[in-house]
């Protein structure tokens, strides 16, 4: 057997498979197989054509689908606009406070997601501090509301997934060799030019990963829409949850879920093509 000398190399034919077996079996049985049963359930229609669930899913819930993708796209763009400068600040300008700031970014993870969203409800309440402040500044009319609006839902989505945007961008910025930036500036590049030609391209893998980690959970989320929005802001996740757990129209519910997954997978692949990164996996 070729390769470096060493006792443990002998086992390398079987050992890796033994090591991965329990975890991979778990993922196969409880991740891959369920996707297959989901597909099966979606076509197990009685009395109608097998595609009936899909017809109803797309004809009745097109609004919720497009709303989900629209909201999460918006939330992803805002998160990028908020997260990139913060990631840049932490990577390049925070000095000895770097670890503290990183800690603050992941602080939201240590409080329950649902409780955080309820906190936004408290903040945006009709009698709450944000509405009061905006009324004082005449930015919100007397009867105007913050809660139950698209703004509240998109703001909540942005908030919840912002750390997932910041951390990958930070990691990719952190890896950049500072001498490249210095070289660009030595060659008379403006700071903005150096950023555009050196820093930004090198941070794209982080932007790619961060955008996916924001967009995907946001598209399937229904907590923000349920707690911060009205029925006018209902997203597809609410419909799936409702059909699965309340109405129990399983073919329709499974079809909705399957369509969501397929659309997202296609979107991810297209996006990976455009940015041309292989950061995943």
Report, in Å, the least distance between residue 34 CB and another protein.
4
Binding-site string for another protein from residue 31 to residue 50, where x marks contact by CB under 8 A and - marks none:
xxxxx-xx-xx---------
CA end-to-end distance (rounded Å), the chain: 29
**Region from 48-56, 131-139, 200-208, 213-221 binding another protein, contact rule CB under 8 A:** 213-221
Three-state helix/strand/coil letters over 185-236:
HHCCCCHHHHHHHHHHHHHHHHHHHHHHHHHHHHHHCCHHHHHHCCHHHCCH
Residue 3 phi, psi (nearest 5)? 100, 175
CB of 58 to another protein, least distance (A): 17
**Binding residues for another protein restricted to 121-180, rule: CB under 8 A:** 121-123, 125, 127-128, 159, 162-163
Find, among 146, 156, 155, 151, the residue nearest to 114 by Cα: 156
Segment near another protein (CB under 8 A); pick from 10-18, 53-61, 137-145, 196-204 = 10-18
User: Does 281 participate in binding another protein (rule CB under 8 A)?
Assistant: yes
Helical pair 150-174 and 62-88, crossing angle rounded to 10 deg: 40
Identified binder of another protein from the candidate list 101, 146, 152, 228, rule CB under 8 A: 101
Per CB under 8 A, 6 contacts another protein: yes
Which residue intervals of 44-97 are DSSP H helices?
52-60, 62-88
Binding test (CB under 8 A) with another protein, winner from 45, 75, 86, 131: 86
| CB of 1 vs another protein, minimal distance in Å | 12
Task: Please tell me the distance from the alpha carbon of residue 259 to that of residue 104, in angstroms, as a whole number.
Answer: 37
Regarding 195 and contact with another protein (CB under 8 A), the answer is no
């Amino acid at each position: 057997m070729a390769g470096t000398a060493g006792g443990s190399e002998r086992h390398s034919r079987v050992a890796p498979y033994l090591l991965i077996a329990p975890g991979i079996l778990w993922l196969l049985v409880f991740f891959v197989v369920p996707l297959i049963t989901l597909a099966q359930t979606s076509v197990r229609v009685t009395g109608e054509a097998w595609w009936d669930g899909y017809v109803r899913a797309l004809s009745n819930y097109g609004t919720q689908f497009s709303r989900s993708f629209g909201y999460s796209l918006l939330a992803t763009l805002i998160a990028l606009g908020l997260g990139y400068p913060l990631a840049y600040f932490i990577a390049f300008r925070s000095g000895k406070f770097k670890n503290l700031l990183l800690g603050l970014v992941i602080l939201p993870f240590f409080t329950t997601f649902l409780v955080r969203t309820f906190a936004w409800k408290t903040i945006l309440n009709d009698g709450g501090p944000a509405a009061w402040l905006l009324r004082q500044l005449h930015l919100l009319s007397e009867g105007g509301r913050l809660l139950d609006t698209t703004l509240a839902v998109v703001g909540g989505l942005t908030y919840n997934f912002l750390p997932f945007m910041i951390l990958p961008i930070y990691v990719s910025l952190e890896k950049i060799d500072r001498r490249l930036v210095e070289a660009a500036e030595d060659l008379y590049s403006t700071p903005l030019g150096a950023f555009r030609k050196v820093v930004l391209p090198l941070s794209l893998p982080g932007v790619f990963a961060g955008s996916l980690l924001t967009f995907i959970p946001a598209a399937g989320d229904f907590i923000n829409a349920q707690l911060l929005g009205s029925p006018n802001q209902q997203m597809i996740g609410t419909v799936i949850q409702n059909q699965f757990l309340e109405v129990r129209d399983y073919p329709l519910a499974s079809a909705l879920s399957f369509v969501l997954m397929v659309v997202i997978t296609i979107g991810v692949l297209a996006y990976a093509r455009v940015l041309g990164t292989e950061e995943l996996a």
